[in-house]
Structure 1
Amino acid sequence: MDLELNFEKRYRLIREIIETLVLTVLMFLIIQMAIQNFNIDGMSMEPTLHNGELMIVDKWSYAFHAPARGDIIVFVAPPNPSQDYVKRVIGLPGDVISIQNTTISINGKVLREPYIAPENQGNPYSSFVDRVIPANTFFVLGDNRNGSSDSRAWGCVPRGNIIGRGALIYWPFGQNNLGLLPSATSTFENLPAPPTHLPADASTCPVQNGVPASAPVALQSQSQGGIQTGLLLIAPSISVASRRRPTAKAKV
């Protein structure tokens, strides 16, 4: 009888240990698929993101809804698919964008952006008028308009390139640490819908690879396995995020 009881106890203990290990592994895999942390390396998103900050990226949001104007996203960079960029979504598919010096118009209405610091206003790239954003692509810009490689330089970001949405800054602690990234939806909420008839001189936002990027800000993804190169900011997509290792590096 004692032998049977001891066997049952050992069996129950072993089963509980196995169940605990399986649940732990499952929870770890779910967390790895849902979020990823990045090290901000560069200044192209200042004053919103600062060099050396650590950011949590939500990789699941865009599996259920499309990116919104104002979202801060991490994506595989069209200029260099071995890197990841972090930028802010400005234009959605179908939008018509014009940039004249530092003035941005979306669907005919001038955009007022309170998250841009006066000293970061600028446009080192050529102005353009009536550029149409193709389907399933997004127009992205850095908040530091004077020092950002973004859609002004290399065109729109395909949705399939997007890794996830920047959710919060968790390190270092201090006055510049925003915690949860503030929403910018109010900046874009009164914009008109895309026009049903395009201007006669409208052009299409290019979607291409291999265009040299200038003055990018880098991101590094933090993980137990070390740091490897490979993350860029472009268009959102859970499929890309799930295929990339959490130790990939990204540029801003």
Structure 2
Amino acid sequence: MMGWGRFVGGCVGALPVALTGLEMVGYVARVDGASMQPVLNPDRVTDYVFLSRWAARSCQVSRGDVVSLVSPRDPSQKIIKRVVGLPGELVHTLGWRRPLVTLPPGHLWVEGDHTGHTLDSNSFGPVSLGLVTAKAVCIVWPPHRWQFISSHVPERKPN
């Protein structure tokens, strides 16, 4: 009986450490939808990506990074988009209210790579840095798709 008590005690003790690790370091998440094609989910293959919370918490977000954020339209939903503009930059929009927008302090312009098949800043405008929850680092599943996610801004075309 002593063995089970130690086992349960060890599990109970490890749980806070594991949860802190997930909260501070990162986690693996499933990416659904076509908005980030062809980088994510090409050929209708569902990708699982490692999302680094560390990068988002330390505000290490650069133009071209793929980030996970709380949807400005539906706070119960998380979305994944590419950073196209940083605070203070002038952005040429692809169909928002104005063709040019200067991003306010603490705000980003995010877009899906699959123009015309995405709800992004062209639909809801600049997003607060505070909505960013993590930075997508690499594809971890399926195995034939293992790769780091490059930080670049692809060619942007209006609808």
> Normalized against structure 1, the TM-score is what?
0.52
The reply on whether 1:95 has 2:89 as its aligned counterpart is yes
Q: Which amino acid aligns with 2:26?
A: I
Q: Distance in 1 between matches of 2:132 and 2:11?
A: 32
Q: Which amino acid aligns with 2:27?
A: Q
Give the direction of change, closer, same or farther, for the CA distance of 1:43–1:26 in structure 2 (3 Å limit): same
Give the direction of change, closer, same or farther, for the CA distance of 1:80–1:17 in structure 2 (3 Å limit): closer
Aligned match of 1:167: 137
**Size of the alignment, in residue pairs?**
149
Select the residue among 43, 53, 73 that pairs with 1:59. Answer: 53
For residues 200-237 of structure 1, give each alpha carbon's deviation from its aligned partner in whole angstroms, at most 9, with x where no partner exists. Answer: xxxxxxxxxxxxxxxxxxxxxxxxxxxxxxxxxxxxxx
Deviation at 1:48, TM superposition (A): 0.6
Select the residue among 15, 18, 40 that pairs with 1:28. Answer: 18
Q: Distance in 2 between matches of 1:67 and 1:20?
A: 37
Q: Distance in 2 between matches of 1:169 and 1:64?
A: 22
Q: Distance in 2 between matches of 1:18 and 1:81?
A: 36
Q: Distance in 2 between matches of 1:78 and 1:53?
A: 23
Q: Distance in 1 between matches of 2:146 and 2:8?
A: 41
Deviation at 1:173, TM superposition (A): 2.0
The reply on whether 1:152 has 2:122 as its aligned counterpart is yes
What is the identity percentage for the equivalent residue pairs of Structure 1 and Structure 2? Answer: 25
Give the direction of change, closer, same or farther, for the CA distance of 1:145–1:180 in structure 2 (3 Å limit): same
Q: CA RMSD in A?
A: 2.6
Deviation at 1:179, TM superposition (A): 2.0
Q: Distance in 2 between matches of 1:53 and 1:60?
A: 21
Aligned match of 1:194: none
Structure number with greater CO (CA < 8 Å, separation at least 6) is 1
Where structure 2 has 5 or more consecutive residues not aligned to the other structure, the ranges are 155-159
SS at match of 1:60: helix
SS at match of 1:147: coil
Where structure 1 has 5 or more consecutive residues not aligned to the other structure, the ranges are 1-9, 100-122, 188-252
